Structure 1
Amino acid sequence: MGPCFVEGKEQLKKRAVGSVDGTQEPARREKVCQKGNPQLQRKVHAFSDMIKELKYLLLRNWTEKIQKGTNQEQPIQNKDGDVDVSSSNDIVLFQTKDVDHKKSSIQRPNLIVMRGKIIKMENQITNVNEYEAIAKQKLPKMVYDFYASGAEDQWTLKENRDAFSRILFRPRILIDVSKVDMTTRILGFKISMPIMIAPTGMQKLAHPQGECAIARAASAANTIMTLSTMSNYSFEEVASTGPGIRFFQLYMFKDRNLVTQLVRRAERAGFKAVVLTADRPFIGRREADIKNGFRLPPNVTLKNFEGLDFGEKNKAGSSVSQTRRHIDPSLNWKDVKWLQTITSLPIVVKGVLTAEDARIAVQAGVAGIIVSNHGARQLDYVPAPIMVLEEIVKAVEGRIGVFVDGGIRRGTDVYKALALGASSVFIGRAVVFSLAAEGEGGVRKVLKMLRDELQLTMALCGSPSLKHISRHHIFTRFPSNL
C-alpha cells in the first residue's frame, strides 16, 4: 500500500461514500490523472485503493469485531449503514495489510481513523498525543477513563495542557548547536535527559507487564522511573528487571509500621529515593470512576500489600478502596521529619503548588519537591503546575531540587519548564498510554520522541546544553505571581 494521507472531515466523508465495488473510483481516478503528473497519479491510485479496502472492511463488520474485542461503543453509522468517519467522536481502527478476511481472529490494527482523519499507526506515529487515541481504542472504557479523567468539571485537567500554549519562545541565533548535551544530575544520579517517569498506579491494567515494562524502558533510556505504592508488581519484581535508577512513591498510612515495612523493602530492592505524596488526604471526586464503578479485576492486585493485614477480613492486596481508606489524612510536616528518621534515602515531597509550602519544604530538609496537582485528579480549579512553577522556584532559591509534572506532551513543554527553573520534569499519562498501545516498545518510543523533540527545541532556541536554557528564552502570557 502507498502512503497514508490525512484528509479533512468533509473531504474524507465525500471520498469514503461510493459504490461497494468501487465502480465510481476509476472515474475519479481517470479525471484527476488527466493532469499528467506521475507523482500525483501514484498518490491518487494509492488513496483510491486504500478507500476501497476501508469500505470492504467496514461492510464486512470489521469494526464490529474490533469494538467487541475492546469493549468500546459501536461506530456511528449514517443512513446508508456506512460508518460515519467524519463524526468528531468516532475512533475506528483498521487492519489495512495482510488481512485474511476469511478468518475471524482480529489482527493488530495499523491504521486509525480519528475525528474524521486517517493516520498511520506504529512506525508512522509522530508524537505522544497520538498514543492516547490508540490507548482509548484498545482499553476498556473503565480503564481508559481511570487513566485519562480528572476531578469534577475537569477544568484543571484541560488547563494542565492549555497553560503551555501561553508560553512562547524567544529563540537566539548564531550560536553553535552542532552538539546538544541533555545530560543532567538528579539527587546526584546522572541521567541522559531531564525527563523522568512519574508514579502511576495499577499499570497492569494498561498492559500485562505493567510496571516491569516501564522499568525496562526507563533503564534503556537511562532515566529515572518512580514506582507507585499502588503498583501491580512488587518492589522485588521491578528490581529484578535489571539495573536502573528507581524512586519509590509513598502514601503515608495510618499504620506507621506498615510505612516502615514498605520503605525498608524499597531500600533492600535498591530504590534510590522516597517520593512522599502530600496532596491526597482524601481522594478527589473523579466522576468517571464513580459512573464506571471502577474496580480491579480479580487477577490484578496491589502486590506490595499482599500478605499484609490491616485488621480487616480481606488482605490489603485485594482491594483498592480498602487500601485507600488507610491513607492518613492527618499527614503533616512532623511526619516528614519522622520519615527522615527511618530512612537515609533522600525524600522528595510531591504536590507543592504554593511558594509558602515550598519554603516550608526547604526548612524541613527534604531533598526536593515536585510541583504537581496530582494530574488534575484531586482538587479542580487549581492552577496548572507550569503556571506556579516560577513562583516556587524563586521561593526555593536553589536550595533544593524543583521538579514539575502535569500536561507535558512535547519536548517544547519540557524546555519551557526548564526555562522557568525546573530541574527536570516527570511524565505520567504519556507513558501509560504508550504502554497500553505498544507495551515496553511504546514507552521506549515516547521517551525517544520527547528526547528528540527537546534536543531539537534546544538547538532551535540556541541552547547547546541545559545550563544554557534560561528565563530569557521564553515569555509568558500569564501572571508570574498569582
Structure 2
Amino acid sequence: MAGPAQIPADVVALCDYERHAAERIPAPLRAYIDGAGADGLTADANLAAWQAIRLQGRVLADLRGADTGLHLLGLDLPHPLILAPVAFHRLVHPEGETATVLAAGATGSLIVVSTQASLPLEQIATAAHGPLWFQLYMQPRREDTLRLVRRAEDAGYRALVVTVDAPVNGLRNMEQRAGFRLPEDIRAVNLDGMAAPEIRSEPGRSAVFLGLMDAAPRWEDIAWLKMQTELPVILKGISGANDAIGAVDIGADALIVSNHGGRALDGLPATAEMLPVVVGAVSGRIPVLCDGGVRRGTDVLKALALGASAVLIGRPQIHALAVGGPRGVAHMLTILRAELEVAMALTGCRDLAGIDEAVLWQG
C-alpha cells in the first residue's frame, strides 16, 4: 500500500500546487476544476482585481500578542480562512471529502461541505475534527430540501450555506470542449432519490425556460427555510446592493459575496469590486464573507480591509488535495495563514479588528 503523498519540495505558494496539479490531473478533469463560464472573463478578473489593490506598509507598530482569531456565528475560529464548498473531491483523491476535513481539523479551519459532495454528509461529519457548515442547493421539492436540512442538523453541521447564484449552470465551454463527464463511480450521493426538475422538450430550445427556472428557488423559499431550522442561514452568491438588502430584510444571518468563482454568469464584476458595495449596503447588520480568486495571504488582508469577516478558498483546496492529499490541504492552509500573518505584521495590524481601509494604499 502506498504511503502518504509527498509534497514536492518546490511547493511554497498556492500557485505551486496549481502547477503540480495541472501535471497530474487529466485534461478533461482540469477543465472541470479550473474551468470557468463562457470566456472566463470573471474568473480572470477575480485574480486581477486582488492583484491590482496596493497595500500601505506601517512600521514600528506594537504587535505584541498579535493573533488572527475571530468569532463568527457562534464559532471561535483561529483564523479567517474557510474551505469553500467544492463538489466531488473523490475526482482527485480516493478518500474524497474525508481527506479534506481531516486537513481542516488539523489546521483549525472551518469547512463548508457541498450538497454535491462525493460522500454522504454523515460520513464526512464523522471524519471531522472541527466545525462544519453545510452548503445547500434548494431542491425542486421542499420535502427533499427539508430532508437535507434535517440530515445536516442531525450530523452536527453548524450552519446552512444556501447557494443562490446558480439556479442553472453557467456556459462551461471549457468543459464542453474537453468532453468532461463524471466517472461512473462518482456522483452527488446526497441527492440520491431526490426529484430532478421536470423539463419539457421543444426543438431548438434549451431547458432553461422549459422547466429549470420553474423549480429555481425564490425569496419566499428562503423565508420558508428560515422557519424550518434554528441553524444560521447564510446566502452565498450575493453580488450587489439590492440583493444584499433583500437578504438582510428576509433574515439571512450572513452573506457570502461571490460570483461562483466565475463559473456561472460570465461578465460579472470581480469579487474585490463587489465586496465594498455589499458591505456598504449591509452596514454592519450581519457578517459579510467572500470568495473568488484568493491565492495569497495579501489577498485575504485586502478582503478583510474591504469589510469581509472571513474568506473562502475554493479551487486551491482541490489542487492541494490532488498533489498532497490531506497533508497537502493542511500545508496549503498553513501557507496562506503564514502569508496573512506576514502581511498583517508589515501593515501594522495586531488583530483582525485592526484591519481596515487604512492598510490600503490611497496615493
Q: Same fold (TM over 0.5)?
A: yes
Deviation at 1:344, TM superposition (A): 1.0
**Of 165, 176, 181, the match for 2:62:** 176
**Of 83, 94, 99, the match for 1:213:** 99
Residue 443 of structure 1 aligns to which amino acid in structure 2?
Answer: V
1:339 paired residue number: 225
Q: Which structure carries more relative contact order (alpha carbon 8 Å, separation 6+)?
A: 2
**Of 293, 308, 323, the match for 2:179:** 293
Q: Which moved more, 1:448-457 or 1:299-308?
A: 299-308
Deviation at 1:180, TM superposition (A): 2.2
Aligned residues: 350
Q: Helix, strand or coil for the counterpart of 1:439?
A: helix
**Do the aligned residues in 1 keep the contact of 2:5 with 2:324 (CA within 8 Å)?**
no
1:377 paired residue number: 263
1:366-408 deviation digits (Å, cap 9, x = unpaired): 1000000001001111111111111111111110010000000
Deviation at 1:476, TM superposition (A): 6.7
Structure 2 Cα separation of the partners of residues 332 and 130 of structure 1: 41
Deviation at 1:307, TM superposition (A): 4.5
Deviation at 1:306, TM superposition (A): 3.0
Residue 177 of structure 2 aligns to which amino acid in structure 1?
Answer: K
**Do the aligned residues in 2 keep the contact of 1:348 with 1:370 (CA within 8 Å)?**
yes
| 1:272–1:171 Cα change, 3 Å | same
Deviation at 1:311, TM superposition (A): 9.8
| 1:145–1:311 Cα change, 3 Å | closer
2:201 paired residue number: none
Q: Percent identity?
A: 38
1:214-250 deviation digits (Å, cap 9, x = unpaired): 1111111112100111110111110111332111111
**Do the aligned residues in 1 keep the contact of 2:168 with 2:212 (CA within 8 Å)?**
no
**Equivalent residues in 2 for 1:69-468, closer than 5 Å:** 122-308=8-194, 329-468=215-354
1:420-464 deviation digits (Å, cap 9, x = unpaired): 010000000011110011110100000000010001100010001
> TM-score normalised to the size of structure 1?
0.70
Deviation at 1:332, TM superposition (A): 1.4
**Do the aligned residues in 2 keep the contact of 1:214 with 1:435 (CA within 8 Å)?**
yes
**Do the aligned residues in 2 keep the contact of 1:254 with 1:327 (CA within 8 Å)?**
no
Structure 2 Cα separation of the partners of residues 281 and 187 of structure 1: 26
**Equivalent residues in 2 for 1:27-42, closer than 5 Å:** none
| 1:131–1:274 Cα change, 3 Å | same
**Do the aligned residues in 2 keep the contact of 1:155 with 1:381 (CA within 8 Å)?**
yes
Structure 2 Cα separation of the partners of residues 251 and 410 of structure 1: 29
Structure 2 Cα separation of the partners of residues 327 and 250 of structure 1: 17
Structure 1 Cα separation of the partners of residues 238 and 187 of structure 2: 30
RMSD of aligned Cα (Å): 2.1
2:202 paired residue number: none
1:134-155 deviation digits (Å, cap 9, x = unpaired): 1111111111110101111111
1:37-75 deviation digits (Å, cap 9, x = unpaired): xxxxxxxxxxxxxxxxxxxxxxxxxxxxxxxxxxxxxxx
Structure 2 Cα separation of the partners of residues 375 and 144 of structure 1: 15
Residue 23 of structure 2 aligns to which amino acid in structure 1?
Answer: Q
**Do the aligned residues in 2 keep the contact of 1:282 with 1:329 (CA within 8 Å)?**
no
Deviation at 1:256, TM superposition (A): 1.0
Question: Which 5+ residue runs of structure 1 have no aligned equivalent?
Answer: 1-106, 111-120, 313-320, 478-482
The structure with more radius of gyration = 1
**Do the aligned residues in 2 keep the contact of 1:201 with 1:228 (CA within 8 Å)?**
yes
| 1:328–1:270 Cα change, 3 Å | farther
1:475 matches 2:353:
no
| 1:462–1:292 Cα change, 3 Å | same
Deviation at 1:301, TM superposition (A): 2.2
Structure 1 Cα separation of the partners of residues 292 and 349 of structure 2: 24
Residue 304 of structure 1 aligns to which amino acid in structure 2?
Answer: N
1:170-196 deviation digits (Å, cap 9, x = unpaired): 122211224421011111101110110
| 1:109–1:231 Cα change, 3 Å | closer
Structure 2 Cα separation of the partners of residues 308 and 278 of structure 1: 19
Structure 2 Cα separation of the partners of residues 309 and 252 of structure 1: 12
Structure 2 Cα separation of the partners of residues 272 and 328 of structure 1: 30
| 1:188–1:298 Cα change, 3 Å | same
